[in-house]
Each structure stands twice: as structure tokens, then as C-alpha cells.
Amino acid sequence: MSLTSLSISALQEKLRAREASPIEALDALESRIAAVDPSIHGYLSRDYAAARALAEKADVNLPLGGVPIAIKDVINVIGEPCTCASKILLGYKSTYDATVISRLRAAGAIPFGRCNMDEFAMGSSTENSAFGRSCNPWDLARVPGGSSGGSAAVVAADEAYASLGSDTGGSIRQPAALCGIVGLKPTYGCVSRYGLVAFASSLDQIGPFTKTVRDAGLLLNAIAGRDPQDSTSLDVPTEDATALLGRDLKGVKLGMPKEYFISGIDPQVDASIRAAIAKYESLGAEIVEVSLPHTEHAVSVYYVIATAEASANLARFDGVRYGHRAATDNLLEMYGRSRAEGFGPEVKRRIILGTYVLSSGYYDAYYLRAQKVRTLIRDDFTKAFEKVDAIICPTTPEPAFLAGDRTDDPLKMYLADIFTIACNLAGTCGLSLPCGFANESGKQLPIGLQLIGQPWKEARLLQIAHAYEQATDWHKARPAL
């Protein structure tokens, strides 16, 4: 077995037993990337020299000592590019570390590589990157999901031991499902957003992509916790996310929301999710039907709130202090042309939508009303969690779709996140893990099972996910590249 195919936990065993060194782990990654990333295009850049310098002095006895971690290109790492996959930030290099990067370094990890993504995290397929799309390792003609598609693809293709992404409406869980790996969105406020380039500030959350549930817990332990530099980071005691792993599921209640099992779901996805639910029953969990009645409004609410916040957040990219600046001596013309030349079509679309819903005469009709419905969606989850420990449902309504299939139909693209968006609106935690495969044109495509947990109960969520993972073999499958 090659080093690059190992989970974090398995790699740590070898590092601590001196059966491999951090430099050997890094070199193995670099060789693997050279071999397969020209096909995957999961990385936008890498600084091997800087990573090697860290590997040479890595303390393998630290929680993540000597483990290279790939980073979505929306999280600042000092001295590294942070383009957000946009031409408007081409040439920009970070002047500081995001808090999650500082915490990874403190845990002994080695930030290595900048992962491709949808521009400014706006998209569900990584086709909106200004630097070319990423490909799904299971079928290069298909998308890896988005917006953190590159971060998911490199883990699935064994080009990374793990990676960090961001999740605003499903951007960790959806690509994790389409690429057949584990993706965790923590509770809003659990992980600092300082150093994350903002898309929608009330929805964004940083989280890990990993090969196993245990690895997701290890990474969460490293990056979670209150940060005074982020006003949305909450002062809630963080528990060991791996503390409950290995416990059985006796007494655990899982809610099956009737609104998530609807017509239109791919039959192979539906069959795999129902088989996973049956497996949970055999493991001792009780399945309880619950209702999330405002689910039907989640996509509409999300695309009002998220675009409004994007309009405000992206106003800072004007060509004045950093990033692309149009060649003109006229100040107002410079603002307009810099943004017109620097932003891609999807980003422009969302800025226009957001500016519209915030404009005079429309604020109450759209943005304020959306916030009120968001409260109802959060209340739905609160009521459901009075009956169950977690909610079980599909991550996506279908497996990975063909590249180009939805680029001319934004509404169809937005519906790819129909099962993940509500979790962000409610601010709770969610996870996707592999639960089967669909056969499409002779290709095996991963299917993801979504578990939505109670706020601040990541350890419980991971316990429930881990029990299923250990009782099945889906997480062991790897694409043939």
C-alpha cells in the first residue's frame, strides 16, 4: 500500500513508529500529484520548498505532526496565493495565516497546496473557476461538486491525506458525496472564519475533507474553538470530537425527514440511502419519521440571503488596494472595469441578485422576509432534535453529473444543493459519508449519506457516522486512475 492511500490515522502510526518520515510522506504526495493531477486539476498551486522546510522539523508526536493538509484557495496561508479561483485576485499573496492555519501549524500539520474551487465559493461543480474546472476522479467527464470541488477531488484521488474546505450551502458535503469521501460542516461558530475570504458571512463555515470519520474528528479537534479575531466564533466549550467513536448505537434515534424523500431523487441514490437506513436499524438505532415543513422554501431563502451578503462582502474587491486593476485614469471607470474584467459570470449574477434584494423598496419584500423564513427553518430543526439525536437523509439527489450539463441552467445547478442548504440556514452541523455507488454508463459513481446533528454535538454526529462506516466497506473504495 502506497503512503498516499493512507488515512491520517494510518499515516500517523507509520510516522510515530519511524516506518516513514514526514518528508517521505510529502515526497509521496508530490509524486502522486505529478502523476494524476494533470487529469484531475485539483490543485491551483503548491509550494514544495516551504512544505519541505516544515516537514524537516516536524514533531510527529503532535496531534497532526508531520501530516500535509491541502487548503481550499479561499483560506489565507501566509506567503501563498489566495486567488479564490478568480482573476480579480490573480497575483495576490496572503500576508497572514487564517486562524485555522495557525491552529493546524500548532497541531504539527503542514499546509500544502492550494485547491481549485468555484470562484469565490459560488457554485456546485467547480466549473466556475477562472482557472479551469476540476474533474471527478471516478469519471473525469463529470464534476467533483462544488464549491470545494478541488479539495474533495484531491483527497479522493489520494493526492492529499486530507484537506480543508468551506461550506456555505453544502460546499463541503456535496463534493464529499460526489467524490466518495467524508466531509464535515461544523456548527456555525465552532470554527473561526478569520482568514476565510467571505462569501456569505452568516452561512460560511470551514471544515475538513477526509478519508475516514475518525480523521474528520482529528482535524476538527485541531481547528475548532473560540477565536477573539472572529466575532461570530462562539465561546462554547469544545469537546473531543473523537471521544464517542466506537460506541454502539443502542438508544440512538435517527430522524427520517419526509420532505427529503421525494419524487425526483435518482432511484439508485434512493435505494442506497434506504439500505443505509436499514443498516442503521440493524446496528441498534431507532428510525423515527420527522417533519421539516419549511424545507420547500430553503433554496429560495438561501439564494436571497447568500447573494445579499455576497453583494456586501465582494464590494471590497474594487481594484484599489489589491487585486486586478483596470488600466484607466478615471476612478469610477476603474471601479467598474476592474470588477467587470475580474469577476466571472456566476459571481456577477449573484452580486446583481444580492444588490437587487437589498435595494430600496425591495429589502422588506425579499431580504427581511427571507430572514423570517430562515427562523422558521431553524425552528423546524429545533423541534426535530427534541425527538432525535440526528437526521438521516441523502446528501445529493443524484450522483455526479456531466461537466457542462448545467452551465446554461443556473436554477438546475442550484438544486444540486437542495438537501444541504437548510443545514447552513439553521447553523447546525452536518456530515456526508459514502454509502454506495450508482452505475452510470458503465462508471461507478459514489453516493453520499448525509447526517445532520444537533448544534455543538459533533462528537455525537461522528459517533453515529463512524458506526455505519465501520459496518460497511464503502469508504475503502478508491477510483482507478
pLDDT (0 to 100) of residue 414: 86
Q: Which residues are catalytic?
A: 72, 147, 171
CATH fit for domain 3-250, picks 3.40.50.460, 3.90.1150.10, 3.40.50.280, 3.90.1300.10: 3.90.1300.10
Question: Which spans in 137-255 are helix H?
Answer: 149-156, 173-179, 213-223
| C-alpha radius of gyration, the chain, whole number | 21
Question: How far from 423 is each of 257, 298, 471, CA to CA, in Å?
Answer: 13, 9, 26
Closest CA to 185 of 155, 237, 148, 156: 148
**CB burial class (10 A; 0-12, 13-18, 19+) of residue 308?**
buried
**Alpha carbons 43 and 28: distance in angstroms, whole number:** 16
pLDDT (0 to 100) of residue 409: 86
Residues 6+ apart with CB under 8 A from 39: 135, 140, 481
Question: Which spans in 317-390 are helix H?
Answer: 331-342, 345-358, 369-384
pLDDT (0 to 100) of residue 360: 87
Count of all residues that appear for the chain in the document: 481
Q: Is 424:203 a contact under the CB 8 Å cutoff? A: yes
The residues that bridge with 114 in the sheet, in sequence order, are 45, 71
**Alpha carbons 235 and 115: distance in angstroms, whole number:** 30
Instruction: Print burial letters for 174-194: b (CB count within 10 Å at least 16), e (below 16).
Output: bbbbbbbbbbbbbbbbbbbbb
pLDDT digits (tens, 9 = 90+) for 370-411: 999 999 999 999 999 999 999 999 999 999 999 999 988 888
pLDDT beneath 70: ranges in the chain: none
pLDDT (0 to 100) of residue 411: 80
pLDDT (0 to 100) of residue 277: 98
Distance between alpha carbon 17 and the CA centroid of its chain, in Å? Answer: 32
Q: Is 197 helix (H, G, I), strand (E, B) or coil?
A: coil
Residues 6+ apart with CB under 8 A from 294: 373, 376, 377, 380
Amino acid sitting at position 467: A
pLDDT (0 to 100) of residue 263: 85
Pairing of strands 429-440, 182-185: antiparallel
Sheet with 43-45, side-by-side order of all strands: 43-45, 110-115, 68-72, 163-167, 205-210, 182-185, 429-440, 443-453, 390-394, 253-257, 286-290
Domain residue spans in the chain?
A: 3-250, 295-375
Q: Is 180:157 a contact under the CB 8 Å cutoff? A: no
